[in-house]
Structure 1
Amino acid sequence: MRWWHIDPVLSLEERLFPEDAWSAGMFWSELAHARGSARTRHYVVALRPDGKLAGYAGLAAAGQSADVQTIAAAPELHGTGLGTRLLRELLDAATAFGSQEVFLEVRTDNEPAQRLYRRHGFEPLGVRKNYYQAAGMDALVMRRDNTRQPPGPAPAGHRPPA
């Protein structure tokens, strides 16, 4: 992800997460930590063949752990394997950072995302009440032992846009 992706990312962010959308400043801050020798972030975008945004994802690393900060695919691309490709990219980055465990939070009502994470070795740890405050939703906290697992299964079926 580069600075010129922020506007299309914000558009998709607001479409997918209207109550909890990140601001431009939040993305700028994350990208500032994704460059240089003290790099602690990894942010990527997936583009359609016409150059338009298909999805994005981000990871923060600290010490021996990492956190999936965000992952999103355009709704019309759900079920194409794009989410799997984005997650695998983040898991590869976590390995490159030397992260032995990877954490994430996911809305308790987002079953498709929870299934994706379970397929990639994430296990539930607990619930954070009212984590998504604007929506009044709880978050399921999940953890993956990154020392014992490969990045995950290849997506089945269709090949998503690159």
Structure 2
Amino acid sequence: MSARTGGWFLRPMTTADLAAVQALEQELFPLDAWPPEMFAAELAQPVCRYWVAEQDGAVIGYAGLMCIPPVGDVQTIAVVPEHEGRGIGTALLRTLHEHARGLGADRMMLEVRADNPRAQQLYRRHGYEQIHVRPRYYRDGGDALVMCRPLGPEGPAEPAGAAGSVPEEDAP
């Protein structure tokens, strides 16, 4: 599956993407970066699915899902700062939701740094609510907010532009 939008597109992550993703991981999350072997191990797990956002042959974002029904878990989501605000994070998150539903999940969970309001705002816009705090969750002692949202017919609908569609600001 690939979703094309104004100059960038989403596609499943492959082992060929690992070097680029790892370089972005180190740049974007220097304190919390996953070790290289962690992404490779995740890609090999049948319960995990990962996607990249690509533009002009370069990875500009990525996201991962672990799904053990009835729960889908956002493992990671990242967008290169110069590409933020173009709907890439939203498209990645909606892709995770769509695939979690397809795998039988009825809710999504995630952890997000308590000191990352931009990410928290993205998740709240998509129906996530804080349900817990994990003190000192991150290596540097930072707290994590645990957030959750229902999926499926009993849960809130996706915001305008359902999963897989092009957000209005990214329409060609």
Q: Please report the TM-score for the alignment, with normalisation by the length of structure 1.
A: 0.90
SS of the aligned residue for 1:20 comes to coil
**Pick from 25, 33, 41: which aligns with 1:29?**
41
Q: Residue 23 of structure 1: CA displacement? A: 1.1
Once the two structures are aligned, what percentage of the paired residues are identical?
Answer: 46
Superposition pairs of residues 118-133 of structure 1, within 5 angstroms: 118-133=124-139
Matched residue SS, 2:85: coil
Alignment map for 1:53-132 (pairs within 5 Å): 53-132=59-138
User: Which consecutive residues of structure 2, in runs of 5 or more, have no partner in the other structure?
Assistant: 1-12, 162-166
How many residues matched? 153
Indicate the residue corresponding to 1:6 in structure 2.
18
Q: Deviations over 1:96-149 (max 9, x none)?
A: 11101110000011111111101111111011001112x221000000111313
Q: Report how far residue 158 of structure 1 moved.
A: 3.6
Unaligned runs of 5+ in 1: 34-38
Task: Name the structure 1 match of 2:156.
Answer: 149
Q: After TM superposition, which residue ranges in structure 1, 4 or more long, deviate above 6 angstroms?
A: none
- Offset at residue 150 of structure 1 (A): 3.0
Are the structure 2 counterparts of residues 130 and 94 from structure 1 closer, same or farther at C-alpha, using a change threshold of 3 Å?
same
Q: Which amino acid aligns with 2:42?
A: E
Query: How well do the aligned residues superpose, as a CA RMSD in angstroms?
Result: 1.4
CA distance in 2, matches of 1:12, 1:152: 28
For 2:9, the equivalent position in structure 1 comes to none
Conservation of the 8 A alpha-carbon contact between 1:92 and 1:151: no
- Counterpart Cα distance in 2 of 1:24 and 1:8: 11
Distance 1:136 1:97, change over 3 A: same
Distance in 2, matches of 1:123 and 1:58, equals 20
Instruction: Provide the C-alpha distance between the structure 2 equivalents of 1:156 and 1:111, rounded to a whole number of angstroms.
Output: 23
Give yes or no for contact 1:100–1:145 (8 Å, CA) kept in 2: yes
Residue 54 of structure 2 corresponds to which residue in structure 1? 47
CA contact (8 A) 1:91 1:151 kept: no
**Is the 1:9–1:56 Cα contact (8 Å) retained in structure 2?**
yes
**In structure 2, what residue type is equivalent to 1:144?**
R
TM-score when normalising by structure 2: 0.85
Once the two structures are TM-superposed, the CA of residue 63 in structure 1 deviates from its matched residue by: 2.5
CA distance in 2, matches of 1:10, 1:126: 29
Distance 1:56 1:123 in 2: 23
